[in-house]
Amino acid sequence: MDSPQRRVAAPPEAAVFPDGFLWGAATSAHQVEGNNVASDWWARENAPRSDLPERSGDGADSFHRFGEDIALLAELGFTSYRFSVEWARVEPAPGAFSIAMRAHYGRMISACAAHGLTAVVTLHHFTNPLWFAREGAWRRPEAPAAFARYVAFLTPILQSAPWICTINEPNLLAGVPHDRATGAVLPSLAAPHPQAAANIVAAHRLARAVLRQATDAPVGWSVAAQVHQAAPGAEPFLDAYRRPREDRYWEVAREDDFVGVQAYSRTIIGPDGPLPVPAGMETTQMGWEYYPQALGAAARRAHEVAGRPVLVTENGIATADDRRRIDYTFAALTSLRQAMSDGVDARGYLHWSALDNYEWGSYRPTFGLIAWDPATFERTAKPSARWLGAVARTGRLAPPDRAATPDRTDSRIGGE
């Protein structure tokens, strides 16, 4: 296990990334679109005695303002945008597909192309149609076929998609429980359920087969990398804990064109499972350890187990201190570039997130490069967005100019 005090050292001079490397930011539909009323998460948020402090509501109104978001990312210097298609909008009732909603997401792909951004389209980002959840969600035997049917309906717009991610964080999705009566997501997040995990793997493979017949886009999925590290003396327990929660999903990616890596921090494993954040370590608004070198470690693990090109589909920090966001991102990218120098084939970096968003129950954690006003939805790029956009323009990662970035620039869009 790395020392708790270890920090990634800045390179002596600017690190250069290869030509064609994707530089972008990411969102998910439910977290920014607003009013995703046909989903299982909406049901949980709006239950009479919801356990969540806030509802997603109008979100950032990105369902209507996606063009503005895409144009702003391009203006800032980014070359890629990752977003998700909302299954609950496209198929709000079983077999009742919306041509209009399919066309909406097709316009998002076209808008990216018009602004010179490479679209990375995710087909499932954590939320399910409520009808699907009421029927047992991913634990029901028919789940893989239902997902493949939805993907097949989308193929007319996906023919122009440059990159396709079938399922976001399948290793976490497999542990999401649902209320049997209402279909709403339940509060607990458990270890992957064996049947749900098997069905999600089957759904991914079916979807990949559909997509390979209909498109030329590289197809993969994105895995939540927990960067498991053994506490002293707990080395014998590490693999048994890690394999069903992570390595299994890297192994599935061996059949894919790429694998998405999503990393934020690390998880230290003791004999009885995860340990608390080491005493005295800095934490983020999510309560996670400030550990930017997680990105390089996750990319190495993905490359070692999956053996496929790596696309960083998420990496970022929840903080109200935008200068700290720059520090974190610089250190994370430094660790990624070091991994690439050691042979990891990384094709791009997509920051989480493009916008401050609904973080599955609250607007308080601010991950975004871009803030927005909850009354007017006016977008404001933070200094971190301009700094990372400059990195994207040049492909060179130089230490940030501390004097040019204020301490605090985030807006508290959901209130204290």
DSSP codes, 220-253: EEEEEE--EEEPTT-HHHHHHHHIIIIIHHHHHG
- The answer to whether 129 and 87 have CB atoms below 8 angstroms apart is yes
Written as six digits, the tokens of 321 are: 């201190």
Residues of the chain above pLDDT 70, percent: 93
Per-residue pLDDT at 5: 34
pLDDT of residue 398: 87
CA-nearest of 370, 374, 380, 382 to 406 is: 382
Each residue's pLDDT tens digit in the chain (416 positions)? 433 333 344 444 679 999 999 999 999 999 999 999 999 999 999 999 999 999 999 999 999 999 999 999 999 999 999 999 999 999 999 999 999 999 999 999 999 999 999 999 999 999 999 999 999 999 999 999 999 999 999 999 999 999 999 999 999 999 999 987 789 998 877 789 999 999 999 999 999 999 999 999 999 999 999 999 999 999 999 999 999 999 999 999 999 999 999 999 999 999 999 999 999 999 999 999 999 999 999 999 999 999 999 999 999 999 999 999 999 999 999 999 999 999 999 999 999 999 999 999 999 999 999 999 999 999 999 999 999 999 999 999 988 876 555 554 443 333 22
Q: Are the CB atoms for 119 and 81 separated by under 8 Å?
A: yes
Task: Calculate Rg over the CA atoms of the chain.
Answer: 20
Closest CA to 324 of 367, 262, 381: 367
SS3 151: helix
pLDDT score of 148: 98
Is the distance from CB of 129 to CB of 135 less than 8 angstroms?
no
Angle at 204 between CA 265 and CA 121, to 5 degrees: 70
Class of 15-404 per CATH?
alpha beta
DSSP state of 118: E
Question: How many Å apart are CA 241 and CA 191, to the nearest integer?
Answer: 10
DSSP-assigned beta bridge partners for residue 168: 222
Strands 15-16 and 396-397: antiparallel
The reported pLDDT for the residue numbered 190 is 78
Question: How many Cβ atoms are within 10 Å of 53's Cβ, its own excluded?
Answer: 12
Nearest alpha carbon to residue 157 among 93, 211, 116: 211
Which residue pairs from 399-404 have beta carbons closer than 8 angstroms and sit at least 24 positions apart in sequence?
Answer: 399/10, 399/330, 400/326, 400/327, 400/330, 402/323
